Amino acid sequence: MSSQFDIAIIGGGPVGAALALALRGSKLKVCVLEARPANVASKDARALALSYGSRLLLERLRLWDVLQDVSPIDTIHISQKQSFGRTVLHAEELKVPELGYVLPYPALQDALTNALQHSNVTSIFDASVTQLHSEMDHALIGYQQNDAEHMLHARLAVVADGGRLLAELYPPEVHDYGQSALITHITCSIPKTGTAFERFTPHGPLALLPYKQGYELVWTVPHQRVQEMLAWSDTKFLQELQSRFGDRVGDFLTVGKRTSFPLGLRRAPCTTPMPHTVLLGNAAQTMHPVAGQGFNMGLRDAWELSQEILDAKPEELGTEAMLAAYRSDRRTDREMGIRFTDGLVRLFSNDLPLVSAGRAAALTALDCLPFAKKFVAKRMMFGANG
């Protein structure tokens, strides 16, 4: 079996699905190849931190109003353990309704999948992509479905699979921070509605993201400690968290199921590794979750790519000229976003006295300089091109 498409998106996760929805209604023939079976809900336990800029993009995709279980962030409190330095960002100071939002990954994924299934985009579920080759005027994609081999031709193949398909052929640059993220849901005695906390410790950042009546916790710890912490009793876990975070939200009361995943910087050397092919989202770059930039950058990737596709003539789809224009448009935001998150992790993940004092002074100075706070907040909300 062989099929012809203008755009084939490998991976129906949030970034790939967002691109497909940005192209729906056009005259282009678009398909999404997704490894998950149809009508199987996502079981990803993570919470997503969406920026205000991502909300605007989701509104353009006509998705925002159908999302469920969204909690707003109107204040971000940034501090470091055992230090006087801190910065507080307020939405009202920046003249936006909110700085960001927290929602479960499955809520966004399910809304995107449902919208796709009610669009003119072809969704091919339970499709395991096994090969991708570049021909003179198209990409050739091989995939397995129902124990049968299929081939698909596309003017442009978009790889949004998280970075698995082409990793061996085009090895990414990888930096292991020696850290894992432990994630769970917690409740406390004095929750501050709408306030997110980012607290830097010598072992990495600890983030509390407001969600419903509690917080989604992202606790960065060394690899060698994470399994021990997953095995702690609830009482010990809450005591250890209290000692590192303090009493800004009162006493920590309950903790939910705990999971973890390793953290690192993973960066494809080129987002367009071969003709008629482009990498998107985590296939192009996977960043540390500090400052919550990863998915938001991926969504901007998808939106910018959709505009390049819609502006191109049919014969220009997937050509080097089109891909070069996309690389150029995304270069500044991508480079600055990677440097920003990588720099934060390297700067704050230590307890050197002189460095700690410098960090404290920098956080205090940032809090006292409105133009500097606005600059940082805009980059967090809209990226370097915002």
Instruction: Note whether residue 241 is domain-resident.
Output: no
Instruction: Note whether residue 284 is domain-resident.
Output: yes
Residue 202, pLDDT score: 79
- What mean pLDDT do residues 135-149 have? 93
> What backbone phi and psi angles, to 5 degrees, belong to 287?
-115, 165
Among residues 200, 222, 191, 188, the alpha carbon closest in space to that of 85 is found at: 200
Taking the model in full, what pTM does it have?
0.92
Instruction: Note whether residue 14 is domain-resident.
Output: yes
Report percent pLDDT > 70 for the chain.
93
Q: Is the pLDDT of residue 81 over 60?
A: yes
Instruction: Note whether residue 203 is domain-resident.
Output: no
Instruction: Note whether residue 136 is domain-resident.
Output: yes
Structural domains of the chain, count:
1
Which domain covers residue 163, as residue numbers? 2-42+106-172+266-348
Q: How confident is the model at residue 344 (pLDDT cuts 50, 70, 90)?
A: confident
Q: Is the pLDDT of residue 386 over 90?
A: no
**Is residue 359 within 8 Å of 198, Cβ to Cβ?**
no
Question: What is the 8-class DSSP label of residue 382?
Answer: H
Q: How confident is the model at residue 40 (pLDDT cuts 50, 70, 90)?
A: confident
Beta bridge partners of 312: none
Instruction: Note whether residue 344 is domain-resident.
Output: yes
Domain of residue 318, CATH code: 3.50.50.60
Residue 195, pLDDT score: 97
Residue 347, pLDDT score: 72
Q: Which residue has the tokens 């012809």?
A: 4
Give dist(CA 314, CA 327) in Å, integer.
19
> H/E element holding 55?
helix 52-60
Tokens, residue 222: 């060394």
Among residues 147, 97, 156, 109, the alpha carbon closest in space to that of 127 is found at: 147
Instruction: Note whether residue 292 is domain-resident.
Output: yes
Instruction: Note whether residue 220 is domain-resident.
Output: no
